[in-house]
Each structure stands twice: as C-alpha cells, then as structure tokens.
Amino acid sequence: MPKKNLPPDAAKMGEFALIARHFTRTAAASAESLVLGVGDDGALIQPTPGHQLAISSDMLVEGRHFFPDADPGSLGHKALAVNLSDLAAMGARPLGFTLAIALPAVDDAWLAAFARGLFALADAHACPLVGGDTTRGPLTLSITVFGEVLPGQALRRSAAQSGDDLWLSGRTGEARLALAQRQGLPWATTASPADLTQARARMDQPTPRLALGQALAGLAHAAIDVSDGLAGDLGHILQASELGADIDWAALPLAPALAALPVEWQRECVLHGGDDYELLFTASPDDRDRVRAAGAASETVVQRIGRLHAAPGLVLIDHHGQRAPLAMRGHDHFAA
Amino acid sequence: MPKKNLPPDAAKMGEFALIARHFTRTAAASAESLVLGVGDDGALIQPTPGHQLAISSDMLVEGRHFFPDADPGSLGHKALAVNLSDLAAMGARPLGFTLAIALPAVDDAWLAAFARGLFALADAHACPLVGGDTTRGPLTLSITVFGEVLPGQALRRSAAQSGDDLWLSGRTGEARLALAQRQGLPWATTASPADLTQARARMDQPTPRLALGQALAGLAHAAIDVSDGLAGDLGHILQASELGADIDWAALPLAPALAALPVEWQRECVLHGGDDYELLFTASPDDRDRVRAAGAASETVVQRIGRLHAAPGLVLIDHHGQRAPLAMRGHDHFAA
C-alpha cells in the first residue's frame, strides 16, 4: 500500500499497519510474471512477449453495489470476481490486480475475512495483488485487473457477425431471485430453502468464467459478461456490432429455484436479472463443435440460445414459436 | 465506462450518459500503444516489446485528501498527477490510466471542469484514459496508472547504495505552507500574496517529474516521490535499502514564501511537509555529471542535498555543521 496514507501519529500508524498486514503476503501466491509487488512506488510486471495487455476497473460502493451487512468474505470474493469477469469476457489471462479501499473504521475481523475471500479467488486464478491504496472514508472498493491476450484474439463487443450463433455459459436468473428474496418480495419466497441457498451463492460469490473466456479467444467473435441482465448486455453487443438477434426461450437453461415461478417472473430473472457473470458470446455456426469443445475443456456448460441477424432489434421466440420484441434492458440492483 | 452502472430508468440513464460524455473522447489524444479504449469490457494496450509494466494506484477521498470546495479543474489535475508521480519515481513512461469515480450527484459544470484539468495533464504526457467506472456514492476518485520501463532500469526504493549522493528535484515545503495558510494558521500568513499564490499552486496542481524520472532510469539507484514529506519518504528508502543518511540543511533550496519564517517552521515545511511530488533519489558520486545532464535534459532543477551511509539513522547537518538526529516522519494533511 502506498506510503501516503500512513498517518503520522502512532495510534493511526498502528491502524493502517494493521490494514496493510491483511493485504501484504509472501511470494507464495505470486505469479511468474510478477517482478516487483506491493511496497514500492508501483509494481512491475513482465508480460509474456508478443501479448497485448487487457485492463478493466470496477468500483463497488456500500449501499449501492452491496448491502451494509454483506458478509466480508463474500464481498472480497465478489469485488475481484466482477473484475475478473471482465477479463474473461475479453478472453484474457489474468496477470494481477490493484485494490484501492476506503474504510470508515478498522475492524480486524472484517478485514481478515475480506482478505480471505479476496485471496482465495486470486490464488485460484494465479492473479496476485500487486499494489493499491488504503484510506479512511465511506466503504468503497476499487479494483483494477490486468490480463494478457494475443493480438487479434481479444473478444470484442463489436465483432459479432450476422448469422452467428448466440451462446450462453451456465444459466442466468438466480442472482436476481436471491436479491428479490433478500428484499422480501413475496414472489421470490416460493422456492425451496435449498434452491434459495444456491441462488444466494450465485449472487454473493459469482464465478468468473476465465477458463472458458481464454478457450474462446480467437474462436468466438463477440463476448460480454452478463452483469446487467442478458437482454441488456446482449444489447451492447448488438449496438456495437450493428446487428439484431433472436433468443429461443426454450433453449435457455432454467435454474430449479425458478421452476415454480410464473413465466413472467422467470423471464424477468433470466432475461433482465443482473449479477450473474456468465459469458454471453457469438460464434460462427461452422464452429459449434469447437465451441462445445471449449466448454468441455474449461468444464463450463455452454448452451446455444439464439442467433444474430442483420435486421436490427431483439426478438424472443417462446415455447410455441411465437415471436415478440424483447426490450434490451438490464436491471440495476441498487437503483432507487 | 462499464455498463453495470447504467441504471435502467431513463432519468438516471440520462445522468450517467452525461457523466460518460465528459470522459469519452475521440482518438485525438490516444497514444500509439492504445489498441482499444473506453467502451468494451476492458481496454487493450500494446506495450513496447521487451519492456516491463509499471503499475500504481491512488485513491482520493473528499474531506481526507481534498477540501469539499476544491476547484474541480485542480482536482482533476491532482488526482492524475499524484499517480503519474509514482510512475516518475519508478522511471517509467506512462501508457494510460483508468479512473473509477463515485459521485453524490451529477453537476455538469463541475464534471466539465474536472475533465478539463484531468485531460490537460493526461495529454501533456500522452497518457490516455483507457477505461474505468462511474457510480453514485460519496465523492471518491480512484486512479490506476500503467507505464513501461526496460527490465533492470526501474528505480526501486531498495536499490540505494552506501556512499550514494542524495538528490532532490525542485524544492519542498510550499504545499505545506499553502495548507497551513488555507487552515488559517497564523505562522503561515506572513508570506506575500504572490508567494502564497505560488505556494497554493504547488499544493493544488503538483507537477509529476516524469521526464526526469525517465532520464534517471538506469542511472539513479533508488528513488521515491515526496508525497508524505522529505524526511518520511527518505525513511522509506533507508528502510528498504538498510542504510542511513545525512541531509545538509544549507543545500536544501528554500522557496521565497518560506524565507521569512522562523527556521523551525522552515524545517517543518521543507523536511516534513507533504504533497510536493518532487523526486528524491540516490546516485553514485561518479555519476554527478550524468545526473546534472539528466536534470538539464528534462528541464528540471536537481540539487545534491546529502549522502547515504551504512550507519543507520537520519541526521540533519545545520548551517554551522552541527549534526542532529532527524525524525523520519512525514505529514498527513487530513489526519485529525
């Protein structure tokens, strides 16, 4: 952590040293590419020769992106996961991340749990913390991740082609249900406790699809991670690629927790719910076997859920083959 | 700016689109190394082959790092300057930066002025904004900068050698005086209005010493930027390099604004005042001419102010040659 936020008096020095302790680690979890980590004016990383650098930043603010009573371990996981998910959507391999954190007060147990959640995910992807900043302020987490990808292989929103298949990893909707249940909305309480627990885990500890993203680099055309809702995020690909798309409702995987809901709520969750962090991507129909092989190699379920076409607009095709326009809107969890 | 903070309803969409407008620019200011800028899941940068990547992050929180009524143009400059200063202290050339910003409300004039200050400095150093995040929250600015440096040439805190000269760029102390004047402290009001204006500019719009830092890469041994006070920051070099140092008070440049102060306040400002963002570095006595040439080439005044030695501790030598221990403490502007 930079020196500039080490206050001069001993009491506070102790507090900030305490914070630093939770984020300072031995080289155990360091990746080969890390030349110099936390503790200087900056970090030094040696990217693989010939690769491009992929960079993404996300800021999480208490009360807007997470509840004030959020479990600190889950929060540590999620703060990094939403950033790694952006690298996955670029097809990049993680190299490291920085964490800037504002804290209203020092709570040793909270920090220890936060760091455990954060580093468990970082270690799983060999993505070391290389630097950052700690300061006093309203609880705010700002992470920037760096990855690398071969030139021309990054998955861009603008690269979809007319005639492409539309694919989805995993399934969407459970995070939206878990949020609704957390908010006490009556329709969300019909699922079984076991299904709700699973849905809650999807909201609190999302899985960034890094292995799949890397397997798709140079194979898929466009990709995005579903953070804001399937229809809304697909809209970003369609806008950037100047295309339209059909989605087959019957092809979309439905989580057990959503099975008993009226179809309107199922659609709200699956098509417009945020916080799923699955990959939504397009690829040539000629490459279906290769896409399935990429899914198998990365142990990630992939499902063909529609197709792209030159005609603008998004269309949902229901179980009966009926076509209806679908709004390209997402969901903001903390909007008023 | 990432999609996930675009709220769904039209009114807020408008607000966030307004924010995005201030930070979205055409390619005019883009560096050659920028492959893909703002607008996808992440940015893509092509570093120069064979170089290492230098990374640094700083977070600025309202009320702690800047006053609530801070001029937005100066704030935009300073938020980037303190980060670029870290790259300067590594000897790195800037490649780009990300900005994550939490805003309590949207103020178009404020944002326009902030962006002007930010981009004026970014353009001066060919350091493009490559991505980031905008969200609602207490005013918080989190910037991460990336630069590049040849392997083995980065300036590290731990690389000082016994017998090295100690050098300082520019002069320190004015930012501390300006803060004291802003706080209404009686001792700080004795300077002339013109001198105080200059001191205020040092606090509000610091100059990152990037050209000097790059000229010193591979030449100087250790370097740090003076953000926390000369004595405190030198302490970081001494600790990392396991050395001690003497500072010659008579060799330290004194700003006109400090000339009339009692020597105790001069020392407080020059040795312990923060926010100067000058470079403090060490180099072999054999390289004095090369260091002076690096200063001349980068149009930056450099001054030899002391020397490093194996005996631990920091000593101040006064005008009369008297030696006295000097505390390795800095100053935190917003500590209670």
Q: Which residues on chain B are in Cβ contact (under 8 Å) with A55? A: 42-45, 96, 98, 130-131, 146
Q: How far is A252 from chain B (nearest CA, A)?
A: 22
What's the whole-number mean pLDDT along residues A32-36? 73
Of A129, A149, A169, the residue at which a domain comes to its end is: A149
Do B136 and B184 have their domain in common?
no
Do B125 and B190 have their domain in common?
no
- Of the pLDDT bands very low, low, confident and very high (cuts 50, 70, 90), residue A1 is very low
pLDDT in the model for residue A4: 38
DSSP state at residue A28? G
- CA angle A248-A331-A220, nearest 5°? 50
pLDDT in the model for residue B80: 97
Q: Which residues on chain A are in Cβ contact (under 8 Å) with B92? A: 42
Instruction: Say if CB B122 and CB B128 are below 8 A apart.
Output: yes
Evaluate whether residue A306 is within a structural domain.
yes
Q: How far is A290 from chain B (nearest CA, A)?
A: 24
Do A144 and A261 have their domain in common?
no
Evaluate whether residue B165 is within a structural domain.
yes
Do B137 and B185 have their domain in common?
no
Do A276 and A144 have their domain in common?
no
Evaluate whether residue B333 is within a structural domain.
no
Residue type for A161, please?
A: Q
* Residue B322 burial class via C-beta count within 10 angstroms: exposed 0-12, middle 13-18, buried 19 and up: exposed
pLDDT in the model for residue A331: 57
Cβ contact, residue pair B55, A131, below 8 Å: yes
Cβ contact, residue pair B138, A140, below 8 Å: yes
Evaluate whether residue B23 is within a structural domain.
yes
pLDDT in tens, B236-263: 999 999 999 999 999 999 999 999 899 9
* The residue to which tokens 């992939």 are assigned: A302
Do A133 and A166 have their domain in common?
no
DSSP state at residue B186? G
pLDDT in tens, A80-104: 999 999 999 999 999 999 999 999 8
CATH for B301: 3.90.650.10
Average pLDDT of the residues of chain A: 88
DSSP H or E run through B215: helix B210-216
Do A57 and A168 have their domain in common?
no
CA distance B328 to B233: 8
Q: How far is A156 from chain B (nearest CA, A)?
A: 7
pLDDT in tens, B22-42: 887 654 445 667 777 776 777
Do B101 and B176 have their domain in common?
no
Evaluate whether residue A333 is within a structural domain.
no
Of A111, A132, A149, the residue at which a domain comes to its end is: A149
Do A145 and A161 have their domain in common?
no
Closest of B278, B75, B258 to residue B177, by C-alpha: B258
Per-residue burial over B112-145, b if 16 or more Cβ lie within 10 Å, else e, is: ebbbebbbebbeebbbbbbbbbbbbbbbbbbbbb
Where is pLDDT greater, at B207 or A27? Answer: B207
Which CA distances in Å does B106 have to A78, A91, A294, A332, B22? 27, 34, 44, 18, 11
Nearest-CB residue to A53 (from B4, B45, B56): B45
Q: How far is A292 from chain B (nearest CA, A)?
A: 23
Residue A154 CB partners (closer than 8 Å, separation 6+): A52, A54, A90, A91, A92, A217, B36, B44
pLDDT in the model for residue B22: 81
Evaluate whether residue B85 is within a structural domain.
yes
CA distance B32 to B46: 9
Instruction: Say if CB B201 and CB B71 are below 8 A apart.
Output: no
- Of the pLDDT bands very low, low, confident and very high (cuts 50, 70, 90), residue A187 is confident
pLDDT in the model for residue B8: 36
Cβ contact, residue pair B44, A35, below 8 Å: no
Structural domain span for residue B196: 157-325
pLDDT in tens, A270-280: 999 989 999 99
pLDDT in the model for residue A12: 46
Residue A77 CB partners (closer than 8 Å, separation 6+): A117, A118, A120, A121, A204, A205
- Of the pLDDT bands very low, low, confident and very high (cuts 50, 70, 90), residue A336 is very low
Domain count, chain B: 2
Evaluate whether residue B330 is within a structural domain.
no
Residue A182 φ/ψ, nearest 5 degrees? -60, -35
Nearest-CB residue to A42 (from B41, B65, B90): B90
Do A261 and A176 have their domain in common?
yes
CA distance B143 to A55: 13
CATH for A117: 3.30.1330.10
pLDDT at A332 over 70: no
Of B117, B149, B181, the residue at which a domain comes to its end is: B149
Half-sphere exposure of B270 (CA within 13 A, CB side): 27
pLDDT in tens, A110-160: 999 999 999 999 999 999 998 888 888 899 999 999 999 999 999 999 999
pLDDT in the model for residue A200: 92
Do A110 and A248 have their domain in common?
no
pLDDT in the model for residue A188: 87
- The residue among B4, B97, B228 with the most chain A CBs within 10 A of its CB, best to mutate, is B4
pLDDT along chain B (336 residues), means of 10: 36 59 63 71 83 92 88 96 96 94 89 95 93 89 94 93 98 94 87 90 95 97 94 94 97 94 94 95 98 98 98 95 90 43
DSSP state at residue B293? H
Q: What tokens were used for A197?
A: 């627990």
Do B77 and B165 have their domain in common?
no
Evaluate whether residue A3 is within a structural domain.
no
pLDDT in tens, A231-255: 999 999 999 999 999 999 999 999 9
- Of the pLDDT bands very low, low, confident and very high (cuts 50, 70, 90), residue A168 is very high
pLDDT in the model for residue B16: 61
Nearest-CB residue to A57 (from B46, B92, B100): B100
Q: How far is A35 from chain B (nearest CA, A)?
A: 9
